[in-house]
Amino acid sequence: MLFYCPMVQLAGSTYRLYDVGGAAGVTGLALMLMASIVRHTVQLYRAERLP
Amino acid sequence: MQTAIFTEADRAQVSFLAPLEKKTLIWLARRTPAWINSDHLTTLGLISLLGAGLSYWYARYHRSGLLLVAACLALNWLGDSLDGTLARVRNRQRPRYGFYVDHIVDTFGVLLLLGGLAMSGYMRAPIAAGLLTTYYMLSIEVYLATYTIRNLPSFLLEVQPH
């Protein structure tokens, strides 16, 4: 795909294929990061409650 | 050097291809010549990511660089995936060394790959930088969670870090 057509049409605009993939990657990683932080913070907060 | 007991964290292999990959790696490990050890494969993994980064950069000037990227990524899979399997098949595990080196190699490998991608013209540099930063932040989160959650008493482990 990248070899033959490195550009994509999205909502009437033209973007680089890897820009779209990269933006999707950043979004996915950021969501995983936030979910993981919330989950582990809650887990550790419950494990070590203030007296 | 202090040799405290090291407990390996559990690995969560959730990809639907993981069972097939595992069988393939064991098959390859049993046929790997004795003169090749896991350090050679780890080095192959890092060098192939350097090659992938340079190939992306080369692709800026000639599209054939993209084919070189694919070849380098295949070599990276071989080196990065087979090193641990080879150590396990030969019963030559080094849990702390392996854990540390594997993740340091990944850290530099991602930098090399995304650095090349940023210079390729196929992805804008700010997006590559964003990907790199988010990947590093997620890595930090995983390492901290692995350290803190693994050190909690087992009855508090509702969910393993992953």
Q: How high is the mean pLDDT of chain B? A: 88
Helix (H) or strand (E) holding A16: strand A13-16
The pLDDT, as a whole number, for residue B97 is 93
User: Percent of chain B, pLDDT > 70?
Assistant: 84
User: Is the distance from CB of B42 to CB of B106 less than 8 angstroms?
Assistant: no
User: Is the distance from CB of B80 to CB of B25 less than 8 angstroms?
Assistant: no
Among B residues 41-80, those touching chain A with beta carbons less than 8 Å apart: 63, 66-67
Q: Is the pLDDT assigned to residue B149 strictly greater than 50?
A: yes
Q: Which residues pair with A7 in a beta bridge?
A: A16
Q: Chain A contacts of B159, Cβ < 8 Å?
A: 39, 43
- CB within 8 Å of B119: residues ≥ 6 apart: B56, B57, B60, B125
The pLDDT, as a whole number, for residue B156 is 47
Highest mean pLDDT pick, A15-19, B130-134, B153-157: B130-134
- SS3 for B107-132 is HHHHHHHHHHHHCCCCCCHHHHHHHH
Q: Is the pLDDT assigned to residue B136 strictly greater than 70?
A: yes
Q: Does A24 touch chain B (CB under 8 A)?
A: no
At A25-49, the pLDDT tens digits run 999 999 999 999 999 999 999 999 9
The pLDDT, as a whole number, for residue B11 is 63
